[in-house]
């Protein structure tokens, strides 16, 4: 289980990426480079729904916005946690872009981290965390 899932920003194909190849990952469909921050990938609403259904690992999702100060502080900690825990898939969803998904999931404040297992939400945490606290939460799901 030494892999993660990421969506191609160009064609939105879902790709299974081996961790050791993440720095050179390309889309299996259109061959465009896939960008990671740590082992975190950006997701649209459609990408999010596909990945939580497809993933054989827990999925950890950071809902954030570019204007949010705590989100800016949390981002590097979220990325650090992704490098420390390869037993989960890490996604970021921009609430400014994906407003309907945020409403659908009842996101009331950001940053907000949601945890999914087998396609279902199994937990959520509001506010910024340090990487160690986030890793500990992941280990409990």
Q: How many whole angstroms separate alpha carbon 87 and alpha carbon 65?
A: 26
Residue reference for tokens 């939400």: 121
Q: How many whole angstroms separate alpha carbon 24 and alpha carbon 34?
A: 8
Q: How many whole angstroms separate alpha carbon 8 and alpha carbon 29?
A: 9
Closest CA to 139 of 68, 102, 101, 86: 86
Grouping H, G, I as helix, E, B as strand and the rest as coil, residue 122 is strand
The residues carrying an active-site annotation are: 68, 71
């Amino acid at each position: 289980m030494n892999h993660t899932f990421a969506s191609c920003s160009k064609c939105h194909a879902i790709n299974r990426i081996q961790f050791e190849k993440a720095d050179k990952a390309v889309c299996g469909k259109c061959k465009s480079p896939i960008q990671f921050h740590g082992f975190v990938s950006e997701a649209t609403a459609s990408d999010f729904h596909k990945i939580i259904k497809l993933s054989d690992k827990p999925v950890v999702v950071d809902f954030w916005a570019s204007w949010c100060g705590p989100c800016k502080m949390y981002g590097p900690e979220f990325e650090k946690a992704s490098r420390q825990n390869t037993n989960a898939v890490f996604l970021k969803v921009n609430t400014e872009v994906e407003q309907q998904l945020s409403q659908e999931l009842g996101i009331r404040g950001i940053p907000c981290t949601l945890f999914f297992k087998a396609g279902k939400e199994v937990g959520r945490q509001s506010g910024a965390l340090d990487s160690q606290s986030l890793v500990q939460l992941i280990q409990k799901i």
